[in-house]
Amino acid sequence: MLFLDAFVRFGGVALLLMIAVTSWKHRKTWPSAPYLILSCGSVGALFLGYAPPALQPPEPLLSLARFADIPHLVFVWLFALSLYESEFRLRAWHVAVGVLYAAPIFWPRLAGVGLVADPPAWLPIYGGITSILLMGHLAWVTLHGRSDDLLERRRNSRTYFVVLLFLVTIAAAASEMVPDGAPIHFRTAKIMAIMPALVFGAIWMLRFNLPSAAPTGPSGLPGDLQPQDKALLGKMQKHLLSDEGFRNPALTIVSLSAELGVSQHRLRALINQSLRQTNFSSFINRIRIDAVCDAMEQPETADLPILTLAFDAGFTSLSSFNKAFKSQQGMTPRAYRARLLAGGANARNPSPFSTNPQDAATART
């Protein structure tokens, strides 16, 4: 059984190393690479530190591994958020959640080396609850954004990711209940529970070479499209801009494809490949923010509340509008209007329908 453990454990470390090296190669073009590298390092520390005594590394490497493996779920969480959440940015609340998760694990580890007092009995329960909440949030974010995803491979991988996450979590929890004297050590069972995720990740990285979710599409611009795609692009532009279809607060990729009389698959591919957009809501919000900026610049709407302009453009909440506006314009709506009233000029992002190559590159999400 020790041989099986060594084979699985060190084979897993080799896979993690391969994934980390591949991610490092694409770190400049793939925003998720740093989080995946950190995930690989922390899970690798788990593999080395959470080993039967005969396979444990010598001190102080063992102690280092036991502390380095603590945030592995946090790094996996951040990696998946950066992969699947539109316009992800590491924020203070992400760090706060990571601290809240890691604290109940750090405490007993520090107590084990005599640096702090023994933790209270309820701490493991708290740790279990935070782990469930962390993975639950990850599953929700992954599935919630599926309909907006314009990258077909990434969109399809969302369901697989959540199913795999669920199975690995259940298997890892079950491994903790392996009794003493069982044919397989509970530490070996836990590592074996994680292995399917590593194999899936390794195949994913090797199969697609570049990460399939990287926010880059084909290099073609509208001028390179086939005649039928040019016609569809013009029809969509007329519907969204001239007919102001973007103002519909219930607009989705499903409803837009029905209104244009095309399949969702073709429409997703057209928006992604011709306009370099990777998320449908972000694409529509670019148009809506542009309309709000136009309205702010008109004398007849200068006195209208910003919230009125936002709702008129199709936004359904103030929070979503403020987030989208600041992401696109780099300032709050109030600051944008204040600069206009002061006679200053505000920079405007190019339309997502721009055919200028430089504008199209800027319009990537």
| Boundary-marking domain end, from 148, 181, 208 | 208
Residue 220 predicted with pLDDT over 60: no
C-alpha–C-alpha distance, residues 355 and 337, integer Å: 28
- Residues 250-276 have a mean pLDDT of 93
pLDDT digits (tens, 9 = 90+) for 114-142: 888 998 989 888 988 998 899 999 999 99
Q: What is the CATH number of the domain that holds 281?
A: 1.10.10.60
**H-type alpha helices, 176-279:** 186-208, 227-237, 253-260, 264-275
Q: Output the pLDDT for position 4.
A: 85
Domain count along the chain: 2
186 & 253 share domain: no
* Domain assignment present for 261: yes
192 & 45 share domain: yes
* Domain assignment present for 213: no
- Tokens 């709000």 map to which residue? 292
Give me the chain's average pLDDT, please. 85
The answer to whether the CB of 282 falls within 8 A of the CB of 230 is no
- CA distances to 49, 67, 116 from 61, rounded to whole Å, are 8, 10, 21
Q: What is the CATH number of the domain that holds 53?
A: 1.20.1070
Q: Output the pLDDT for position 245.
A: 95
Residue 318 belongs to domain spanning? 222-362
Residue 342 CB partners (closer than 8 Å, separation 6+): none
pLDDT digits (tens, 9 = 90+) for 65-109: 999 999 999 999 999 999 898 788 899 999 999 999 998 889 988
354 & 276 share domain: yes
135 & 230 share domain: no
pLDDT digits (tens, 9 = 90+) for 136-187: 999 999 999 999 999 888 898 899 889 888 888 888 777 766 666 666 777 7
- Residues 338-363 have a mean pLDDT of 62
63 & 117 share domain: yes
pLDDT digits (tens, 9 = 90+) for 294-344: 999 888 887 899 999 999 999 999 999 999 999 888 899 999 998 888 876
